[in-house]
Amino acid sequence: MEPTGAALTNVEAVETEETPMPAVKMFRPAVIGAAAVVVAANLALAHGDVAPQPVDTDALPEVGEEWLTENPYREAEAGRDVWLKAIEVGASGYNQNCARCHGLEVISGGLAPDLRFLEAEEYGDEWYVERFRHGYTQNGTTKMPAFGELLGQKAAWAIRTYIEARPDDAVIEEKSAELKEIRDTLAAGEGDVAALQARLEEISGEIETLSGAPVADSIAFRAANQLAADPTATAHAAETLTIGLSAAH
Ligand code: HEC
């Protein structure tokens, strides 16, 4: 049985043979008209025959040559520092290689499955790594390019770590009024920083992942960590909240 994936709609046919990567190819719109050309160009960008972007994984521990079937960078296995680093590396790797189909912040716009729902355990991992390595081709059409050889195993698991730690955006939406208030207080350099940090931690605890991963890497989580590391970093924490709140509209 395959794990759930959102129904596919509007997947652009990227015509290619079984080449490992679709090379850069532009659409040649038959209809010549400014609007048509713009639309075609946007589609080409959105679905992108774009070369994969290398991911700098030097800061992450080696995991060997053989492909694993379970994420080695989870906090429980690798410790908090490695886990946080994997999220950071994975965020960049995801945004450069996956977001154009699977959506910014891993919130799918319907073009490809919403990866936040892939279970954060071995079952989900096996499926993840299968798709990551080999991509997906249907009737000779590459719907998802293969990334295994090009990006390698460390990048695969870093991206996996980032994906599974995405917060439930609906809960952030519910909390957004309070988060804005905390942001304003921090930005003004007012308020009791320890109390604000404690409240951010509480909110962070209420924001869950959709993958079942134990901790969501939400803006509340990040801002609380920044204040815990340095209680004078109020401007930094305010900025984290600002960016996250505007990303969530
Ligand atoms: C060109 C568009 C495209 C890009 C780029 C892309 N994917 Fe996909 N991906 C798809 C499509 C389409 C599917 C659905 C294929 C299918 O029917 O199983 C898919 C499926 C998946 C699945 C299986 C999801 C499920 O619920 O069954 C995973 C995991 C996945 N992609 C991960 C990634 C990762 C990680 C990246 C970046 C390294 C990436 N994809 C880049 C289009 C893309």
pLDDT at 248: 64
Residue 233: pLDDT band (50, 70, 90) is: very high
Number of domains making up the chain:
2
Nearest protein Cα to ligand 1, atom 8: 144
**Helix H segments across 48-168?**
75-78, 80-97, 99-102, 122-134, 148-164
Ligand 1 atom nearest the C-alpha of 97 is: 37
Question: Would you say the CB of residue 160 lies under 6 angstroms from ligand 1?
Answer: no
Both 185 and 160 in a single domain?
no
Residue 196 to residue 181: CA distance in whole angstroms: 10
pLDDT at 108: 94
pLDDT at 49: 60
Both 123 and 44 in a single domain?
yes
- Domain end among 115, 137, 164: 164
Both 150 and 37 in a single domain?
yes
Residue of 202, 248, 196, 201 whose CA lies nearest to 222? 201
Residue 40: pLDDT band (50, 70, 90) is: very low
Question: Would you say the CB of residue 210 lies under 6 angstroms from ligand 1?
Answer: no
The one-letter amino acid code at 218 reads S
**Helix H segments across 98-230?**
99-102, 122-134, 148-164, 169-187, 193-206, 219-229
Ligand 1 centroid to Cα of residue 129, in Å, is: 11
Both 181 and 147 in a single domain?
no
Question: Would you say the CB of residue 146 lies under 6 angstroms from ligand 1?
Answer: no
Both 175 and 237 in a single domain?
yes
β-bridge partners, 138? 141
- Judged against a pLDDT cut of 60, whether residue 11 lies above it is answered with no
Both 16 and 82 in a single domain?
yes
Question: Would you say the CB of residue 106 lies under 6 angstroms from ligand 1?
Answer: no
What integer best gives the mean pLDDT of the chain? Answer: 85
Span 66-77, pLDDT tens digits: 999 999 999 999
- Domain end among 114, 146, 164: 164
Residue-range definition of the domain harbouring residue 37: 5-164
Mutation test residue for ligand 1: of 21, 53, 101, 210, the one with most atoms within 8 Å of CB: 101
Backbone angles phi and psi of 119, in degrees to 5: -55, 135
Both 127 and 59 in a single domain?
yes
Both 104 and 35 in a single domain?
yes
Both 102 and 185 in a single domain?
no
With a CB cutoff of 8 Å and minimum separation 6, the contacts of 142 are 14, 16, 19, 22, 135, 136
CATH number (domain holding residue 90)? 1.10.760.10
- Domain end among 144, 164, 184: 164
Nearest protein Cα to ligand 1, atom 31: 131
CB 181, CB 191: distance < 8 Å: no
Both 67 and 190 in a single domain?
no
- Judged against a pLDDT cut of 60, whether residue 24 lies above it is answered with no
Question: Would you say the CB of residue 3 lies under 6 angstroms from ligand 1?
Answer: yes
